[in-house]
Amino acid sequence: MTPDMSRVNRTKNGRPVHHWRRDLVELAALFTAVAVADGVANLIGHGPDGPLLLVVSAVALAATAGFHTWWSRRHVHAPPTEDTGARSPVDARRGTGRRQGGKQQHTAAEGTPAGQDRPEGGHPTTGDSGQDVPVASVLWRMRTTVRDEPGSLAALCVALAGRRVDILSLQTHPLGDGTVDEFLLRAPGTLTATELTREVAAAGGTSTWIERADAHDLVDAPTRVLGLAARTALDTAELPLALRQLLGRCTIRSLPAVPSGEQSVPVEGVLDDTVIRLRAPEGGVLTVERPYLPFTPTEFARARALVELDGRLGPRIPRGQDVLTLAGDDITVRRVDTGDLTAAREMHERCSKRTLGMRYHGPVDDADRYLKHLLSPRFGRTLAAGTASGRIVGLGHLLWDGDETEVALLIEDEWQQRGIGAELLTRLVGMAEEAGCESVYAVTRASNTGMVAAMRGLGLPLDYQIEEGTLVITARLDQARSAASRAPYEGDERRLGGAHRRD
One DSSP character per residue, 76-119 reads --SPPHHHH-PPPHHHHHHT-S--TTS--SS-TTT-S-SSSPPP
* More confident call, 430 vs 497: 430
pLDDT in the model for residue 123: 52
Residues 465 and 137: their CA atoms lie apart, in Å, by 39
Regarding predicted confidence, which is higher, 256 or 397?
A: 397
Phi and psi angles of residue 444, each rounded to the nearest 5 degrees, phi first: -150, 180
Pick 38 or 199 by higher pLDDT: 199
pLDDT in tens, 200-251: 999 999 889 888 888 777 787 888 888 888 888 887 777 887 888 888 888 8
Q: Rounded to an integer, what distance in angstroms lies between the CA atom of residue 437 and that of residue 478?
A: 8
Does residue 14 surpass a pLDDT of 50? no
Count H helices and E strands in the chain, helices first: 15, 18
Does position 113 have pLDDT exceeding 80, yes or no? no
How many angstroms separate the CA atoms of 496 and 407, rounded? 23
pLDDT in tens, 356-393: 888 887 777 777 777 888 888 878 889 999 888 888 99
In the predicted structure, residue 118 carries a pLDDT above the cut 50: no
Chain-centroid distance of CA 347 in Å reads 45
Task: Give the three-state DSSP class for 338.
Answer: helix
| pLDDT tens digits, one per residue of 290-301 | 877 888 898 899
CA dist list (Å): 112 to 93, 125, 158, 164, 484: 13, 7, 15, 9, 45
Check pLDDT > 70 for residue 128: no
Q: Tell me how far apart the alpha carbons of residues 123 and 372 are, in angstroms, rounded to a whole number.
A: 55
For residues 158-171, give the mean pLDDT: 91
- Beta-bridge partner residues of 166: 186
CA distances (Å), origin 444, targets 355, 455, 469: 11, 11, 9
Taking residues 456-481, what's their average pLDDT? 80
Is it the case that residue 77 has pLDDT exceeding 60?
no
Position 73 confidence tier, pLDDT thresholds 50, 70, 90: low
d(Cα 251, Cα 400) in Å, to the nearest integer?
10
Average pLDDT value for residue range 183-198: 91
31, pLDDT greater than 60? yes
pLDDT of residue 418: 84
pLDDT of residue 133: 53
Tell me which amino acid residue 413 is.
D
Tell me the C-alpha distance between 198 and 200, whole Å: 5
- DSSP-based three-state secondary structure for 357: helix
CA angle 408, 488, 396 (to 5 degrees): 20
What is the reported pLDDT for 18? 53
Are 398 and 255 in contact, with CB atoms under 8 Å apart? no
DSSP three-state, residue 136: strand
Q: In what order do the strands lie in the sheet with 251-255?
A: 251-255, 285-289, 275-279, 270-272
* Percent above pLDDT 90 for the chain: 11
Is-contact 200 166, C-beta < 8 A?
A: no
CA-nearest of 373, 233, 256, 393 to 317 is 233
Average confidence score pLDDT of the chain: 75
Bigger pLDDT: 76 vs 357: 357
pLDDT band at 99 (very low <50, low <70, confident <90, very high): very low
* Cβ neighbours of 167 (radius 10 Å): 15
Asked if residues 331 and 414 have their Cβ atoms less than 8 Å apart, the reply is no
Question: Long-range contacts: 96-99, Cβ < 8 Å, 24+?
Answer: none
Residues 143-166 have a mean pLDDT of: 90
Instruction: Say whether pLDDT at 478 is over 80.
Output: no
CA angle 468, 470, 471 (to 5 degrees): 125
Q: What is the pLDDT of residue 122?
A: 52
